[in-house]
Amino acid sequence: MIIYLDESGDLGFSPGSSKYFVITFIAIKDNTPLKRAVRKVKKKHRLAPSFELKGNTTPPKIKEDLLKRIASLDIEIYAIVMKKSKVSKRLRQDTNILYNYVLGRIVVPYICEPSQAQESVVTIVVDRRVVSITSGFKLDEYLAYKVWYENLAEVDIEILHEDSKWTLSLQAADVVCNSIFRKYESGDERFYNLIRGKIKEEQQLFF
C-alpha cells in the first residue's frame, strides 16, 4: 500500500495565520493510474511535464479536470482537520509535537487497522519541501514508535521524502488536500464535492 501525504494551512498562531490546518493522504495499491491521470491533465491543458500542479495556484478548470479523474480511480482519501483556535497554549509551543500528534491521529489507525494486516509494507511518501520537523521526535521515528511499539502492528513502514515537483502523485495529493482545506477555511466546497465520494474518513480535531 502506498500513502501520498500532504498538508494545507500552516501551524502558525499569529493573526495572519490560517484558521485551520489539514493533513490529507491518498491511499492506493497501484500508483500507475494516479500518475497517468496527472499526466493526461497536463497534456490536455498543454502544460509542460515539469509544471507542478498545486492546489492553491492551479487554475480552477484544470483542478476540476484533475479531481474528476482522481474520483474515478480506485483510491481512498483520509483527512484530519484541526481548528487551530482550539489548540492549547502548551501544544502551540512546539509545533513539531503538534504536527506529529495530528498526523498520528489519522495515519497510525489506518496503518494498524485489520484490513492492513495483509500488507507487509506501507510506503508513506511526503513532500520533502513541505514537511519540516526541527525538534523532538522525527516523523519517521514517531510513526515507527506508534505503529510498532504502541500498537504492536506487524507492518513495515517505509517513508520516502520526495520532491513534489517531480512526483506526480504528490501533486495529486496537494490538489486534493487543498480542496478539503478550502471547505473549512473559506466555506468553498466546489472542489471538495468532486471528491466527496472517495473520502473514507474526514476527522475533525477540535480538541
Length of the chain: 207
> Mean per-residue pLDDT for 107-125?
80
Q: Which residue has the higher pLDDT, 88 or 183?
A: 183
3-state class (DSSP) for residue 150: helix
- Tell me the sheet residues that pair with 124: 3, 159
Domain spans of the chain, in order of start: 2-205
For residue 160, give the C-alpha cell. Answer: 520516502
3-state class (DSSP) for residue 205: strand
First-to-last alpha carbon distance for the chain, in angstroms, is: 30
Contact (CB, 8 A) for 124 and 5:
yes
136 has pLDDT over 80 = no
Contact (CB, 8 A) for 188 and 55:
no
pLDDT of residue 135: 46
pLDDT digits (tens, 9 = 90+) for 33-83: 999 999 999 999 999 999 999 999 999 999 999 999 999 999 999 999 999
16 has pLDDT over 60 = yes
Contact (CB, 8 A) for 9 and 180:
no
113 has pLDDT over 70 = yes
CA distance 24 to 199: 10
Contact (CB, 8 A) for 112 and 154:
no
What are the DSSP calls for 43-72, one per residue? HHTT--TTPPP-TTTS-HHHHHHHHHHHHT
87 has pLDDT over 80 = yes
pLDDT of residue 133: 44
pLDDT of residue 134: 41
Kind plus residue range of the DSSP H or E element containing 178: helix 168-185
Contact (CB, 8 A) for 54 and 47:
no
CATH topology of domain 2-205: Nucleotidyltransferase; domain 5 (3.30.420)
Q: List the one residue out of 132, 143, 75 whose CA is nearest residue 103.
A: 143
